[in-house]
Structure 1
Amino acid sequence: MKLSLNTATVKRASLAQAAQLCVENGITGIGPWRDAVEAAGGAGAVRKLFDSHGLTVTSLCRGGFFQLGLDDTRRAIEEAATLGTRELILVVGGMPDGSKDLPAARRVVADSIEALVPYAVQHDVRLAIEPLHPMFCADRAVVSTLGQALDIAEPFAPHEVGVVVDTYHVWWDPQLPAQIARAGDRIASYQVCDWVVPLPEDMLLGRGHVGDGHIDFPAITGAVRRAGYDGYVEVEIFNQSIWDTDPATTVATVAQRWPLVGV
């Protein structure tokens, strides 16, 4: 496995700065977010930037939020293809305003992915379903477990629809080892950060550097490796205090903590 920097970890940095910091710290992969790609001149310009630094684009974040329609995810598929990554991360979306029908919201996700697969295959992009912690079920992702993500992915070939193993979102699940084994070659991305307490008022920003919290990374990494995954490991951290830190310090810390992942 190799280390990749998800650019959300250094929110203050431009993509050019993030790319340079990766090179300086021996990091060979990078996972950009679409807003940062747009700010840097679009997918074509960003691919040239990353190529010039010898970086592999390990994923693109994100498509999804299917309750709002499919057009944005189609654009995300195109952007992923232009960037040269096969992996488009999907945050599937929460409940429609005023709805209490969770099964219906999950059916929308399954139907949306079915509709998008031919377009993704046409662009040689895999749709990677990311389950989010259940506390985000109402507003961000009605898919909360790796098992649920795999159930949605199952009708499709592994190269068409995969899943994301993000330690922050799935570490708590007692079925996690079995579901990682079940995932096998559907694992499209392995993302890591730690679970730190107390949670902030904005729960989205409760992530920490590897080693600062409660997650047993070697156990999860071992399960992912036994499932056959040997790709990049993305460090993706949402944390205001880390965002407020000098990006150079943050990327250096990411690189220093890499051995704690248990690769």
Structure 2
Amino acid sequence: MTTEWTMDAARLSLNQITLNSLDLPAAVAACERHEIGAIALWRDKIAAVGLDRAARLVRDAGLRVSSVCRGGMFTDPERDVRDDNRRAVDEAAALQADTLVLVCGPLLDHDLPAARARVQDGIAELLPHARDAGVRLAVEPLHPMMIGVRSVINTLAQALDLSDALDGEPGVIVDAYHVWWDPDLETQIARAGERVLGYHVSDWLPATSDLLLDRGMVGDGLIDLPRMSAAVAAAGYSGPVEVEILSSRWWAEDPDDVARTLRKRFEEFV
């Protein structure tokens, strides 16, 4: 049963990947045209214009940076990601971003406990730099389908166990697309409480054709977003809500049409 719930439309944030065909200046301009007050930035888009210009663009537009995506990728014992993750923290600080999103890295062999231990060790090493920079780290658990390509942290419970082991840091991102299926979801959102540092919305299509690039527009799929939004609000989260749609279909549409649609759907379903 869908829970009655209305999200304040002023909390809408455009996750930059939703308008993937646009560079950063064009994405900022789209936010201005469609009166979207926050944006989530991806590091490749930042790099394409340079950090200083990116910071000026969002500042001059009066935009809040809800998150920077991404740091992480801790699981490969042959790859040293420490410098890149420190740079990610520094970029988030320069942009005055609310959080740096951590995508923790895939399973590369058969030893899942060891991979998760590397994630914990990597975050523990990064946390002092993040604290010094004033940047909050947030683990985004990804759907189990992503365990071999993106992340070995697949549920909110796992992300919160990791946070518990590190004295309450990092926080977590609740991404509807990745966690909606979890029968323990509402219990874990409540457990997270103030550690919820971000909330991302899209939809799961009934006959999804691509597990990475066929996310549904808000309201087109199976996720009970009003119920999830109410649970996130009850946990105490009142920050920006990112519409994050990785979709070959929507990327092919006119970006202004996409922006108009996502704004309308946000007001209707989130």
Aligned to 1:140: 150
Please, which of 35, 56, 59 is the counterpart of residue 64 of structure 2?
56
Pair 1:184 & 2:193 matched = yes
Q: Is the 8 A contact 1:63 1:76 kept in 2?
A: yes
Deviation at 1:261, TM superposition (A): 3.6
Deviation at 1:110, TM superposition (A): 0.7
Q: Is the 8 A contact 2:214 2:249 kept in 1?
A: no
Aligned to 2:92: 80
Secondary structure, in 3 states, of the residue corresponding to 2:84?
helix
Secondary structure, in 3 states, of the residue corresponding to 2:138?
strand
Aligned to 1:247: 255
Aligned to 2:202: 193
Q: Is the 8 A contact 2:105 2:152 kept in 1?
A: yes
Q: Is the 8 A contact 1:221 1:261 kept in 2?
A: no
Identity across aligned pairs (percent)?
47
Aligned-partner Cα distance in 2 for 1:29–1:166: 17
Q: Is the 8 A contact 1:210 1:260 kept in 2?
A: no
Greater Cα offset, 123-132 or 67-76: 67-76
Aligned to 2:140: 130
Aligned to 2:122: 112
Task: Tell me the number of residue pairs that the alignment of Structure 1 and Structure 2 aligns.
Answer: 257
Greater Cα offset, 64-73 or 164-173: 64-73
Q: TM-score, length-normalised on structure 1?
A: 0.95
Aligned-partner Cα distance in 2 for 1:226–1:107: 31
Q: Which runs of 4+ in 1 moved over 6 A?
A: none
Letter in 2 for 1:118: P
Aligned-partner Cα distance in 1 for 2:184–2:246: 25
Deviation at 1:157, TM superposition (A): 5.1
Q: TM-score, length-normalised on structure 2?
A: 0.92
Aligned-partner Cα distance in 2 for 1:230–1:261: 17
For structure 2, list consecutive stretches of 5 or more residues without a partner in the other structure. Answer: 1-7
Aligned to 1:16: 25
Aligned to 1:226: 234
Please, which of 249, 257, 267 is the counterpart of residue 259 of structure 1?
267
Q: Deviations over 1:193-237 (max 9, x none)?
A: 00013222x421120110010000000000000000000000001
Secondary structure, in 3 states, of the residue corresponding to 2:212?
helix
For structure 1, list consecutive stretches of 5 or more residues without a partner in the other structure. Answer: none
Letter in 2 for 1:199: T
Q: Deviations over 1:16-36 (max 9, x none)?
A: 111111111121000010000
Aligned to 2:15: 6
Letter in 2 for 1:90: L
Secondary structure, in 3 states, of the residue corresponding to 1:58?
strand
Deviation at 1:139, TM superposition (A): 1.5
Deviation at 1:170, TM superposition (A): 0.2
Deviation at 1:40, TM superposition (A): 1.6
Q: Is the 8 A contact 2:37 2:62 kept in 1?
A: yes
Q: Is the 8 A contact 2:205 2:215 kept in 1?
A: yes
Aligned to 1:35: 44
Deviation at 1:126, TM superposition (A): 1.1
Deviation at 1:260, TM superposition (A): 3.0
Aligned to 2:3: none
